[in-house]
Amino acid sequence: MNIENLIKEMTLDEKIGQCVQLPGNYFDKNGELTGPLEGYELTDDQIFMCGSTLGISGSAEIRKAQSFYLEKSRLKIPLLFMADVVHGYETMFPIPLAIACSFDPMQARKVAEYSAIESYSNGLHVTFSPMVDIVKDARWGRVMESNGEDTKLGVDFAKAYVEGYQGTSLDQKNTIASCVKHFVGYGAAEAGREYNTVDMSERVLRQEYLQPFQSAIDAGCKLLMTSFNTVNSVPASVNKWLLTQLLRDEMGFEGLIISDWTSIKECIAHGVCSDLADAGVQAFDAGCDIEMSSPCYYEGVKKAIEEGVISIEALDRAVLKVLSLKQELGLFENPYRGCDEPNKVLSDEHKQAALEVAQQSIVLLKNEDSILPIDKSKSIAIVGPNCSELDLNGSWTWKGHLDNNITLQQALQDYNVVFCGNVYTYRDIEHAEIVIYAGGEKSNMVGEAASRASITLPFNQEHEIEELANRNKQIVFVNYSGRPIDLSNIINKTSAIVQAWFLGTMTNQAVASVLSGDVNPSGKLAMSFPASGGQCPIYYNHLRTGRPYQKLNEPYKSRYMDIDNEPLFPFGHGLNYSNIQISQIEHGEKISVDATLKISINLENSSNVTGTEVVQVYINDKVATVARPVKELVAYQKVEIAANNVEHIDFEICLDDIKYVGLDNKQCIESGDLTLMIGLDSAHVYSANINVIV
C-alpha cells in the first residue's frame, strides 16, 4: 500500500478520524471499559472514520468488528485494535511490581513474549504496556503496574518489555506494538492520591522519571501515552514543551503519541482549555497524534485547519504515523492479522512460564527460626481473608478468568491441613502446629482509581493476628497485595512473612512451592515497605538533608517524634532458605575517562541448599553541584550458588554509570570522591571510597 498516495485521497474528515480512538463498545457491545464513558453524539461518519479502538479482544470479536467497520469505511483503511495487556492476556502473569522484584529483566521479557503470543492470536495489534512510571508512594493504587522506585531497574525493565512485545519486527508473527506509558511523572501524584497534582523540578524529572521512557524509546517502542497529570502546571496532553521540544526533539521519539483516556477533554477540568474544541486544538498543536475516548479532535481540529491555526501538513504527519503503523503491522494486506493463528492461551507451556515468573517474584520478608520451608509432616491451619480467594490476578487482568486459578488450600492439598477457613474459633485450629494466615488486600484494592490513605492491613487482620499470637501460635503470614503494606503491627507477632503480591493464574502454585521449599525464594523488594503510611513517599535513594538523622533521639534532626525514618523492609531486601554471604570483595580505587572501576566479588553459600542472591552495587556522590541521593543503584547481578559452594562475579562501572543531571539539566560528572557500596540489599552494605577523575 502506498500510504502517501492514500493520504492524498483522504478527505479532511477522514484524516482527522485516523487521529481519534473510540472505546470498543462502539463496535462491540462487550468491549472492555477502562475509564468513564460519556455518550458523545457522534455521527456514523465520525464512528466509522476513527482510526483505532480499544478494549475489544478475541479473534472472533475482532474479526466481526473489523469487517463491520471496513464495510462502512470508504477507503477500506483497517482499524487498529489496542488493549491493556499489562501482565498477560489470558494466562495472567504476576503484576509488574512483583516481576520487578525478580531483579531479572529477562523475566519481564518472557512475560511480554508470552503476552504477545496470546494477544497476536486474539487479533490485538497494540498493548498499552509497559507502564514505566517511577513510584515512591504506596498509597497510590497503580504502584502495582510499575517497576518500582528505582530508575536503574525502571530502565532495564522498560527495555525488556518493549523488546519482548515487539520482537525484531512487527511483520513477524506473535508480535504486538508496545505503547509505553504514562508520560510523565504520573507516579508522583501528591499524597499518593489518584489523578492528583504532580509538581517536581525539571532536574528531578530528567534525573529519575524520563530515563525509563528514554530506554523504551531506544528499544523502539512504537507508541507513547500521555499522562493525566500536569507537568510544570500544564497537563501532559496539551504540553507542547513536553511532547514536542522534549519528547520529539530531545528524546528523539518518532512513534505515535496517544492521549490517555479522555485526558485531552480533562484539560477543561484542569482549567487550561475552555471547551472541547479548544482542548482538541491545544492537544494536537502540542503534538498528540491520537485522542483516546473523547471527541475534542472531532470538535476542534477541522475548523482549526480551515482557519490555518493548525497546518494541513501537521495533520498529514500525524495521519502518516498512524497509517505507517498499520502498514508495519501488515493490516492493509491482512486486516485480520493473527486471527487465524491457533489460540495458545493457558497452554501448559504458558502456565509453566507464568509459574516460573511468579516463583521468581515472591519475596521472603521474614523467616524467624527457619520456620519455612514447612515440613509436610506438620499439621497446618489455613486462615485469613485470602485463604480461599481465587482472584489473585491483580488489576489490569485482561481476560484472566478466575476459574483458571486455584486457592491456597487447593495448592497445599498434600499437606496435613487440619483446618481451612476464614471463620473459625481457636478450638478449630488449636491442634495445628503452624497457622498459615493468608492475608493482605483484595485484588480490587489496587490499580487505577484505587489509592488508599491507609496502607495497613484491612479487614481486622491485625486483631486476628494478635489473637492467634497470644495463643503462641506459629504464624506464617502470606501477604497477597498489589502495593507495599504497613506490616509494622504484625511483624513481631508472626514467625515468617511471605510477600506473595498478586501473581496471576499460577499464584498459589507458586506460593505453595515456596512454602514447601520446592523453590528457594529469590525475590528482592523493588519498592520500600513503609513502617507507616505516614512515611509515604518513602524510598531508598533519598537526599541526605542538612540535618540527617543518625541516631536515636537526636534533637533538631530530620526525623519524626513517633517513629523511625527507616522503612520496615528496605529496597533490595529479600531472604532465602540458604545462607549466602559476600565472602570477598576486591575493587579498584578510581574511575576515570580511561579507567573503569572493576569489582570482583565472591559469594559463599555455607548451607546445604542451593540458593540465589542479588548482589547490588550502589554509589553516593559525596559532593556535587546538586544534592545527590544517599545511594543509587548502578548495577546488580542475580546469581545462583550451589550448596556449600562459592561463586565469583565481576562488575565494571564506568563514568557514564555515575553521571547525574546538573543544574543546567544536562548530564555531568566532576572529579572528586565517591562512596561505593555493595550489598545484598540497600541497607546493609560494604562501603569504600573511590576517586573520580574526569
Minimum separation from the CB atom of position 302 to ligand GLC (A): 25
Least gap, CB of 688 to ligand GLC (angstroms): 43
- 8 Å CB contact between 613 and 522: yes
Which CB, 84 or 278, lies closer to ligand GLC? 84
# residues contacting ligand GLC (CB under 6 A): 9
> By three-state DSSP, how is residue 186 classified?
helix
* Contacting residue, 54, 279, 346, 633, with ligand GLC by CB under 6 A: 54
Whichever of 84 and 137 has its CB closer to ligand GLC, that residue is 84
Q: Cα–Cα distances in Å, from 621 out to 4, 617, 618, 627, 692?
A: 52, 14, 10, 9, 10
Edge-to-edge strands, sheet with 685-693: 590-592, 685-693, 672-679, 611-621, 632-641
> What is the smallest separation between the CB atom of 131 and ligand GLC, expressed in angstroms?
6
- Select from 455, 481, 477 the least CA-distant residue to 466: 477
User: What span, in angstroms and rounded, lies between the C-alpha atoms of 291 and 301?
Assistant: 11
Minimum CB separation of residue 401 from ligand GLC in Å reads: 19
Query: For ligand GLC, which is the closer residue by CB, 129 or 508?
Result: 129
Smallest gap, in angstroms, from Cβ of residue 261 to ligand GLC? 4
- The answer to whether 658 and 667 have CB atoms below 8 angstroms apart is no
Closest CA to 523 of 364, 640, 642, 374: 364
The DSSP string of 136-180 is --TTSGGGGGS--S-HHHHHHHHHHHHHHHH-S-TTSTT--EEEE
Q: Of 84 and 150, which CB lies nearer to ligand GLC in the complex structure?
A: 84
Which one, 224 or 355, has the nearer CB to ligand GLC?
Answer: 224
Select 87 or 638, whichever has its Cβ closest to ligand GLC: 87
Residue closer to ligand GLC (CB basis): 196 or 558? 196
291 binds ligand GLC (CB under 6 A): no
Least distance (Å) between residue 384 CB and ligand GLC:
31
Do 86 and 129 meet the contact criterion of CB atoms below 8 Å apart? yes
* By the rule CB under 6 A, 84 interacts with ligand GLC: yes
Instruction: Decide whether 84 or 149 has the Cβ nearer to ligand GLC.
Output: 84
Does residue number 25 form part of the binding site for ligand GLC (CB under 6 A)?
Answer: no
Phi then psi for residue 524, to 5 deg, are -130, 140
SS3 202: helix
User: Judged by CB under 6 A, does residue 618 bind ligand GLC?
Assistant: no
Instruction: Give the separation between CA 614 and CA 176, rounded to whole angstroms.
Output: 31
Catalytic residue among 104, 260, 278, 621: 260
225 DSSP β-pair partners: 258
| Closer residue to ligand GLC, CB minimum distance, 80 or 519 | 80
CB within 8 Å of 25: residues ≥ 6 apart? 31, 33, 37, 55
* Interacting residue with ligand GLC among 159, 181, 344, 366 (CB under 6 A): 181
Is 199 one of the catalytic residues?
no
389 binds ligand GLC (CB under 6 A): no
Cα 641 to Cα 101, 638, 644, distances in angstroms:
19, 10, 8
Q: How far is the CB of 52 from ligand GLC (least distance, A)?
A: 12
In eight-state DSSP terms, residue 78 is: P
Q: What is the dihedral of CA 295, 297, 303, 308, to 10 degrees?
A: 170
| Closest by CA position to 686, among listed 596, 551, 587 | 587
Is residue 128 a contact point for ligand GLC (CB under 6 A)? Answer: yes
Nearest residue relative to ligand GLC (C-beta) = 34
Contact 183, 132 (CB under 8 A): no
What does 9-23 look like in DSSP terms, one character per residue?
A: H--HHHHHHHTEEEE
Q: Does 35 sit near ligand GLC (CB under 6 A)?
A: yes
Residues 260-279 that bind ligand GLC (CB under 6 A): 260-261
Give me the least distance between CB of 396 and ligand GLC, in Å please. Answer: 8
Sequence letter at residue 50: C
Indicate whether 65 belongs to the interface with ligand GLC (CB under 6 A).
Answer: no
Taking CA atoms, 624 is separated from 14, 202, 668, in Å, by 54, 18, 10
Question: Could you give the C-alpha distances from 26 to 18, 42, 71, in angstroms and in order?
Answer: 15, 10, 15
CB of 58 to ligand GLC, least distance (A): 17
Residue 448 in contact with ligand GLC, rule: CB under 6 A: yes
Using the rule CB under 6 A, is 53 a contact of ligand GLC?
no
Closer Cβ to ligand GLC, 35 or 167, answer by number: 35
184 near ligand GLC, rule: CB under 6 A: no
**CB of 94 vs ligand GLC, minimal distance in Å:** 18
Q: How far is the CB of 205 from ligand GLC (least distance, A)?
A: 19
By C-alpha distance, which of 539, 656, 541, 545 is closest to 591? 656
User: What is d(CA 27, CA 467) in angstroms, rounded to the nearest whole number?
Assistant: 54
| Contact between 161 and ligand GLC per CB under 6 A | no
165 versus 261: smaller Cβ distance to ligand GLC? 261
**By CB under 6 A, residue 34 contacts ligand GLC:** yes
Q: Which residues bind ligand GLC (CB under 6 A)?
A: 34-35, 54, 84, 128, 181, 260-261, 448
Active-site residue list: 260
